[in-house]
Each structure stands twice: as structure tokens, then as C-alpha cells.
Amino acid sequence: PVLAFLLALQLHKKRKYVIVWSIMATFAGFAAVLFKMVRPDVKFLLTLQEGDPINHLKRKARFLPGLFAKIFTKADHIQAISGFLKSYAISMGYSGEVSVVPNGVDFENFSRQIQSDILEGLKKQLNKKESDIFIITTSRLVKKNAIDDVIRAMQYLPENYKFLVLGIGPDFEASSQLSVDLGVDGRVTFLGYVEYSKIPKYLKISDVFIRPSLSEGLGNSFLEAMAARLPVIATEVGGIPDFLFDPEKNPDKAPTGIFCKTSNPQDIVKKIRFIVENPKLRAVIIENAYNMVKEKYTWESVSEKMDKILALQASL
């Protein structure tokens, strides 16, 4: 952060910036607030898109709590990707306006039609039989994403339920070993890193998307699955309630997904079977979620809102 701060000062002498913009209140945030303290005439815009638990973030900054708080209180404007992170900004002492502008989704990539022969070839490659139900996640293999809870749930689901895991991370070996220990390794497939452009075809041969997160800033993977017309199961944490409306928990809103409990494999089983065994509700959820993402979460919509925020700050 100190080197970044010093470099920013050097660059400012040459280019005379009107805004310093920090993406997340972490290392970049420390650099930005130091810059703001030296150059108070330059507007400081802070974007919050943290996905880790708030207590974890505060623990990481425990040696500089005062300076950490200043990242929020010295900001001229804060933009958060969810209502949850807006509350985080306020809890850290920020008293100004917080704009909630989510991250965007590459809607065209995830909603596009894929040739049937390509999808059939992928099904054959993954040995998907007519009666198989594919559950899928696209997740970093880290504790907060709780992929282990889905693996534990697999032992209580019928044999034709299979789990595809797209992603890499430090929990790969532990997750792989867990599937072996529980005797479900034949029904859990770790596909590792998959190129972003190729993820849609895996979603489109699947039947349910799930990530039973312990924390989420927003959760773009859920929105991408919705754009691919896949029903989503998620936990009621972080920014997820901004876009996922459960028919039982949110009866006043059009349903866009199903909530499951955190750290509860048995509830995961219940919710997976519920969405699979209720085709009419499943179809309604898919359609509602798809239309919501198309209307509110495209990059065009997001960039429009961010342009307005940047233009306003530059003009003040």
C-alpha cells in the first residue's frame, strides 16, 4: 500500500487526477486513503465488492484499525455491489450517500444458444445418462463457498444425481478426499479450471446450480446461471437476497430461486429434490430469474450507472 501510495503521488504530479478510485477496502484502500490524506482536493471513490465474511476482513486489518476505518470515513462517495455491503460501509462510520450498483453479467455469453451437437457431445464426454440429474457449481474451492456441504449432501441423494464442480482453489485436495471418504467420488466430478467462455455449455447441460455460501458480497456465478436458464439454490447470506427471492420466504415477490440453510447438507438435499420434483415452479423460477438478470444485471446497465457516479464526483 505504501509503494502504491507513493507511485500515485508521482503519477498525480504528471496527470493531475480528479478522482482516486479504490476497488475494495483492502490494500488498495490503504493506498487510496493515504493519497486522500495528502491530497484532500482529489475526490476519493471507494467500491465495495468484498466476498469474505466481514469479521474476517476486520481481523486482517486489526493492526491498523484506525487507518482501516478512515478508508470509509475519508471517502467522498462509496459504491457497493449489494445492500449487504452498503450496510457494511455504514457500520464502518461512513455517513454519506452509498450507491448500490451491482457487478454485471456477460448476458450474451451466458444466455446464447449453443448448438445441440456440442451439448450432446459434452453430455457423452461426462457420461450423462437420460435419467441423470446434474447439479453444478462454478466456485473457487475455498471455505466460504462450502462446496463440502454439497459433497456431504450427495450421500443422501439418489444414485442418478451427479455433481459437477468447476473451479480451483486451496480446498481442492480436501474436497476431493471428502468425496472418496463418503463413497460418492464416482458421482462428483472435479473439472478444475474452465475457460470463462466455455462455462455456459456446462451450465446448459445441467439441471440445478448450487453454492451454499457462508458469505457473499453479491455472487456473480448465481446471476450467470440464471442467465443460462438454470434454477439456482443459494443461502440467504450477504448480497444474495438482493436478487434471489424464495417463494416461501418472499411471497410478495416473483420467485427467482430457492434458499437453503447454511452448513446443512440435509436441507441441501431437500431443496435440490424440491426444485427437481416441481417442474411448474422450476419453470416459473427460471423465467423470472432470466428476465431479472436481463433487465438489471447486464454490463450495459451497470456501466451507465457507474458513468453517472464518476461524472458527478468529477464535477464536484
Residue written as grid cell 476431493: 176
Instruction: Tell whether the model's pLDDT for residue 1 goes beyond 90.
Output: no
Average pLDDT, the chain: 96
- pLDDT at 259 (0 to 100): 98
Mean pLDDT of 85-111: 96
pLDDT tens by residue, 241-272: 999 999 999 999 999 999 999 999 999 999 99
- pLDDT at 58 (0 to 100): 87
Q: Where are the alpha helices (DSSP H) in the chain?
A: 2-15, 27-38, 54-60, 65-73, 83-91, 107-111, 116-125, 147-154, 172-181, 199-204, 220-227, 265-276, 279-296, 299-315
Q: Which CATH superfamily is domain 2-104+299-315 in?
A: Glycogen Phosphorylase B; (3.40.50.2000)
Instruction: Tell whether the model's pLDDT for residue 171 goes beyond 90.
Output: yes
- Name the DSSP class of 185: T
The CATH class of 107-296 is alpha beta
Mean pLDDT of 113-142: 97
Burial status of residue 182 (CB atoms within 10 A of its CB: 0-12, 13-18, 19 or more): middle
- pLDDT at 296 (0 to 100): 96
Instruction: Tell whether the model's pLDDT for residue 316 goes beyond 80.
Output: no
Q: Would you say the CATH fold of 107-296 matches that of 2-104+299-315?
A: yes
Contact predicate 299/104, CB 8 Å: yes
Domain range annotation of the chain = 2-104+299-315, 107-296
pLDDT tens by residue, 302-315: 999 999 999 999 98
- pLDDT at 56 (0 to 100): 87
Give residue 208's pLDDT band: very low, low, confident or very high (50, 70, 90).
very high
pLDDT tens by residue, 24-59: 998 899 999 999 999 999 999 999 999 988 888 888
- pLDDT at 63 (0 to 100): 83
- pLDDT at 158 (0 to 100): 98
- pLDDT at 61 (0 to 100): 84
**What pTM value is reported for the model?**
0.93
